[in-house]
């Protein structure tokens, strides 16, 4: 995940220098990994049931490595989009989660899953800070080579450090597609699938616009963007902690959830209204990340409590598919908005998505979707 996140803060700036640049192509390059991740999450999970977790994870790492090599050699935005799509084709998160479940005892499994979730969150923060530094030192080609090194390191860890898989006495029967469709349509889960789709739509669209606004409107060199991201994220953690504490103490998790969605939308609207004044941009980004951090942790917690234990794995696979599909469309549609309406149009589009999500979260079967929330 660190490898996938590393390009978000810098890709939009480099793509503008390539000969075939267009906002639409940039959007595809930003979100292409999400499309292949979304298409292959469930198949990779099924194949890991049939052929074993480690072989499927190894194939995923090989695809990620191949995409990284293609990215390092890319000389056009179209080639970057293809490289990102190949990277995303290494959709191994379902297989990794399943392997973790196979190798942990039931009494420590929840803790192990929490550690994985925290590590993904930290990888996002590290990518925001590290990407501009790496970009200044080794360029975007070098960042792709760093991703290649990560894939090689992952393969070595898989081969020599991860314990063997438990013996399988027989292949697990795949869940029928009709059962998956019923799980997608379940009223208690639909708002959560829609929520993670919207959240990652907004996140990808945000990084289509923010790096360009920092350079063109505020005159901040790309090498210094890490200072902006680090400061904003540090401040945003205060807001996130306040939201978490309020959720635990008030017992009004649903209200605070909707309020956080509205906060993310308000931050996007502030950026759309004015992204030419530094303190307003910093304040809006701090508000956005406070809401984003809270919602990113809250959504999977709500899902795991709302989905029955026998269907939790399948529900998480659908959840991941919705997440990556949102990332793809956030890039693709964000690119269209960027081309037609400029940077402000992308922010206002994200605000509209947040507003729609707030309505759905407020009206979308709260009695079911939030009944099992841990308060």
List, for residues 132-166, the tens digit of each pLDDT value: 999 999 999 999 999 999 999 999 999 998 888 77
Residues 153 and 199 in one domain: no
The per-residue pLDDT for range 78-101, each reduced to its tens digit, is 999 999 999 998 877 777 877 777
Instruction: Characterize 31-57 residue by residue with b for buried, 16 or more Cβ atoms within 10 angstroms of its Cβ, and e for exposed.
Output: bbbbbbbbbbbbebbbbbbeebbbebb
Residues 14 and 156 in one domain: yes
Q: What pLDDT is stored for residue 368 in this prediction?
A: 46
**92-96, 233-237, 263-267: which is most confident:** 263-267
User: Could you tell me the residue range of the domain that residue 242 belongs to?
Assistant: 186-375
* Confidence band of 309 (pLDDT split at 50, 70, 90): low
Answer yes or no: is 67 within a domain. yes
What is the average pLDDT score of the chain? 86
How confident is the model over 271-299, as a mean pLDDT? 93
Residues 202 and 287 in one domain: yes
Residues 3 and 81 in one domain: yes
How confident is the model over 274-278, as a mean pLDDT? 93
Residues 340 and 226 in one domain: yes
Q: What pLDDT is stored for residue 324 in this prediction?
A: 92
Answer yes or no: is 108 within a domain. yes
The per-residue pLDDT for range 238-259, each reduced to its tens digit, is 998 899 888 888 777 888 999 9
Give how far Cα 111 sits from Cα of 101, 106, 117, 302, Å: 11, 10, 10, 16
Answer yes or no: is 326 within a domain. yes
198, 200, 205, 211 alpha-carbon torsion, rounded to 10°: 150
What are residue 22's phi and psi, to 5 degrees? -150, 155
How confident is the model over 92-115, as a mean pLDDT? 72
Q: What pLDDT is stored for residue 374 in this prediction?
A: 46
- Specify the CATH number for the domain of residue 8: 1.20.1250.20
The per-residue pLDDT for range 16-62, each reduced to its tens digit, is 999 999 999 999 999 999 999 999 887 887 787 778 888 888 999 99
The number of distinct structural domains making up the chain is 2
Residues 154 and 193 in one domain: no
Lowest mean pLDDT among 20-24, 173-177, 347-351: 173-177
User: Does the structure show a pLDDT above 90 at 220?
Assistant: yes
DSSP string, 43-105: HHHHHHHHH-HHHHHHHHHHHHHHHHHHHHH--SHHHHHHHHHHHHH---HHHHHHHHHHHS-
């Amino acid at each position: 995940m660190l490898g996938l996140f590393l390009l978000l803060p810098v890709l939009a700036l480099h793509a503008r220098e390539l000969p075939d640049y267009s906002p639409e192509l940039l959007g595809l390059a930003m979100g292409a990994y999400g499309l292949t991740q979304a298409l292959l999450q469930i198949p990779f999970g099924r194949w890991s049931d049939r052929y074993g977790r480690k072989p499927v994870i190894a194939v995923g790492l090989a695809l990620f490595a191949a995409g990284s090599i293609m990215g390092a050699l890319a000389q056009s935005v179209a080639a970057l989009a293809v490289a990102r799509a190949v990277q995303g084709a290494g959709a191994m998160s379902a297989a990794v989660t399943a392997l973790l479940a196979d190798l942990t005892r039931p009494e420590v499994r929840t803790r192990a899953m929490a550690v994985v979730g925290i590590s993904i969150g930290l990888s996002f923060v590290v990518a925001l800070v590290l990407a501009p530094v790496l970009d200044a030192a080794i360029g975007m080609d070098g960042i792709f080579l760093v991703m290649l090194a990560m894939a090689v390191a992952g393969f070595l860890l898989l081969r020599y450090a991860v314990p063997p898989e438990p013996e399988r006495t027989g292949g697990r029967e795949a869940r029928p597609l009709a059962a998956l469709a019923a799980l997608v349509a379940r009223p208690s889960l639909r708002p959560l699938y829609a929520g993670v789709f919207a959240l990652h739509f907004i996140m990808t669209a945000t990084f289509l616009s923010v790096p360009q606004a920092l350079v063109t409107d505020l005159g901040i060199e790309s090498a210094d963007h890490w200072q902006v991201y680090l400061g904003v994220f540090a401040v945003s953690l205060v807001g996130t902690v306040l939201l978490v504490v309020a959720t635990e103490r008030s017992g009004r998790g649903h209200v605070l959830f909707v309020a956080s969605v509205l906060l993310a939308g308000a931050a996007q609207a502030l950026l759309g209204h004015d992204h030419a004044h530094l303190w307003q941009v910093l304040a809006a980004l701090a508000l956005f990340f406070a809401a984003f951090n809270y919602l990113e942790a809250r959504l999977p917690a709500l899902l795991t409590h709302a989905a029955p234990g026998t269907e939790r794995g399948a529900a998480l696979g659908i959840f991941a598919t919705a997440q990556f599909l949102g990332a793809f469309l956030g890039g693709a549609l964000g690119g269209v908005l960027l081309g037609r309406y400029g940077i402000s149009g992308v922010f206002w589009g994200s605000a509209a998505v947040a507003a729609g999500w707030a309505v759905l979260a407020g009206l979308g079967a709260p009695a079911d979707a939030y009944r099992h929330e841990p308060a």
